[in-house]
Amino acid sequence: MTAPHTTGSARGRAGGIHCEELVRIFSTEGIEVQALQGLNLHVEPGELVAVVGASGSGKSTLLSILSGLDTPSAGRASVAGADLLTMSRRRRVAYRRHDIGFIWQQTSRNLLGYLTAAENVHLPLTLARHRRGAAAREHVDGLLDLLGVAHCRDRRPQEMSGGEQQRVAIAVALANDPQVLLADEPTGELDEATSADVLETLRSVNRELGVTVLIVTHDPTVSEHVSRTVQIRDGRTSTEVVRRRETDAEGRESDVAEEYAVLDRVGRLQLPEDYVQALDLRERVRLTMEADHAGVWADETQRAGPHRSDAAGTRPDGENR
Ligand SMILES: Nc1ncnc2c1ncn2[C@@H]1O[C@H](COP(=O)(O)OP(=O)(O)OP(=O)(O)O)[C@@H](O)[C@H]1O
């Protein structure tokens, strides 16, 4: 994949995502639901990160805030330097038009059915008005080419496959050279092979254009396509899987994935659910401070038959063993 010179302005313009102690409370008929309960998330400029979580964990709430559609009840959130809590209505419109691009799950929400692929990609340019005429046409063709859907240029969405529609949707999202791409379940309506293809396309766009990409999904297989996967549970980030390529002494390359628990500012740590269940941890745990790690032990004083397990040892670098 080669970046066309017309999209080159996105290169080096990547913005970061910073959420600190983010809270969103919904009140309906006197009942309060805390959808986000002090969520911390930091994505560096140019990173490709996935946020995964079960249904109801707060993914859509987070994305609505990051996309400027909703405002948090408390905490701090900034994307590409824009403060999402304090920005004016006018700044919000500019933010949604220029600073970020979105890809939604429903292909019908991304593309207008009565426009061709080229017309769909052209539409955001018309609204932003900073590219016109031949420059705009060249930019549209460059993006369709970059996304591998130049052959769909004059087709309407119903004349394209689901994967082609999502590739055109990515071109639409990139039209105004955003610093950050936000994708909400971008593969939700696609089969396994097409999903992998669309995720690899997002990875190429991230690499080629340097744009920051955040993918929100319930699909855990996304972690094979991104460098970092952040898990959210009950409205806060709990664990992260970091993937990197390693070369051994013989020069063989392999992917290594390591799981980390997220430590917040005041040192709170959420143990993964499977650790809690496997070690039958309840109510309180015993902590031990070792030279190079901290130990987390089941509270034997609450057990009938005391037993001690060292499988939940936690090193101070956040790595579990
Ligand atoms: N507008 C709202 N009013 C009241 N409660 C809401 C509202 N939006 C979300 N919630 C609640 O907040 C919690 C988080 O919802 P959210 O939609 O963010 O989860 P999700 O992880 O995106 O789930 P899914 O994968 O099913 O879309 C849920 O308990 C949900 O019922």
Q: Which pLDDT score is estimated for 317?
A: 47
Q: Does 105 share its domain with 223? A: yes
Q: Does 215 share its domain with 283? A: no
What is the distance in angstroms between the CA of the first residue and the CA of the last residue of the chain? 40
Report the alpha-carbon distance of residue 211 to residue 174 in Å, rounded: 9
- Say if 88 falls within a structural domain: no
Report the alpha-carbon distance of residue 252 to residue 255 in Å, rounded: 10
Residue 236: partners with Cβ closer than 8 Å, 6 or more residues away: 36, 37, 38, 39, 40, 58, 270
- Say if 48 falls within a structural domain: yes
Atom of ligand 1 nearest to the CA of 24: 12
The predicted complex's ipTM stands at 0.95
Ligand 1, residues 24, 26, 37: which to mutate, most atoms within 8 A of Cβ? Answer: 26
Q: Does 214 share its domain with 139? A: yes
Atom of ligand 1 nearest to the CA of 62: 18
CA nearest ligand 1 atom 6, residue: 26
Give the Å distance between the CA of 57 and the centre of ligand 1.
Answer: 7
CA nearest ligand 1 atom 13, residue: 35
Contact 115, 172 (CB under 8 A): no
Q: Does 218 share its domain with 280? A: no
- Say if 244 falls within a structural domain: no
Q: Is 58 in the pocket of ligand 1 (CB under 6 A)?
A: yes
Q: Which pLDDT score is estimated for 116?
A: 96
Q: Does 51 share its domain with 193? A: yes
pLDDT-flagged residues of the chain (< 50): 2-12, 306-309, 311, 314-321
Give the Å distance between the CA of 136 and the centre of ligand 1.
Answer: 39
Last residue in a domain, options 183, 213, 238: 238
Q: Does 193 share its domain with 139? A: yes
Q: Does 211 share its domain with 286? A: no
Q: Is 60 in the pocket of ligand 1 (CB under 6 A)?
A: yes
Atom of ligand 1 nearest to the CA of 57: 21
Q: What range does the domain containing 286 cover?
A: 272-321
- Say if 170 falls within a structural domain: yes
Q: Does 280 share its domain with 148? A: no
Q: Does 119 share its domain with 223? A: yes
Q: Is 59 in the pocket of ligand 1 (CB under 6 A)?
A: yes
Q: Does 173 share its domain with 316? A: no
- Say if 266 falls within a structural domain: no
CA nearest ligand 1 atom 28, residue: 56
Atom of ligand 1 nearest to the CA of 61: 18
Ligand 1, residues 32, 39, 59, 70: which to mutate, most atoms within 8 A of Cβ? Answer: 59
Q: What CATH number is attached to the domain comprising 112?
A: 3.40.50.300
- Say if 114 falls within a structural domain: yes
Give the Å distance between the CA of 52 and the centre of ligand 1.
Answer: 14
- Say if 52 falls within a structural domain: yes
- Say if 51 falls within a structural domain: yes
Report the alpha-carbon distance of residue 172 to residue 168 in Å, rounded: 6
CA nearest ligand 1 atom 7, residue: 26
Q: Which pLDDT score is estimated for 13?
A: 60
Q: Does 203 share its domain with 312? A: no
Q: Is 56 in the pocket of ligand 1 (CB under 6 A)?
A: yes
pTM to 2 decimals? 0.84
Number of compact structural domains in the chain? 2
Give the Å distance between the CA of 60 and the centre of ligand 1.
Answer: 7
Give the Å distance between the CA of 34 and the centre of ligand 1.
Answer: 9
Residue-wise over 203-216: b if at least 16 C-beta within 10 A, else e? bbbbebbbbbbbbb
Q: Is 206 in the pocket of ligand 1 (CB under 6 A)?
A: no
Contact 17, 66 (CB under 8 A): yes
Given the DSSP bridges, would you call strands 180-184 and 100-103 parallel, antiparallel or unpaired? parallel
Atom of ligand 1 nearest to the CA of 218: 25
Q: Does 112 share its domain with 227? A: yes
Identify the H or E element spanning 295.
strand 294-298
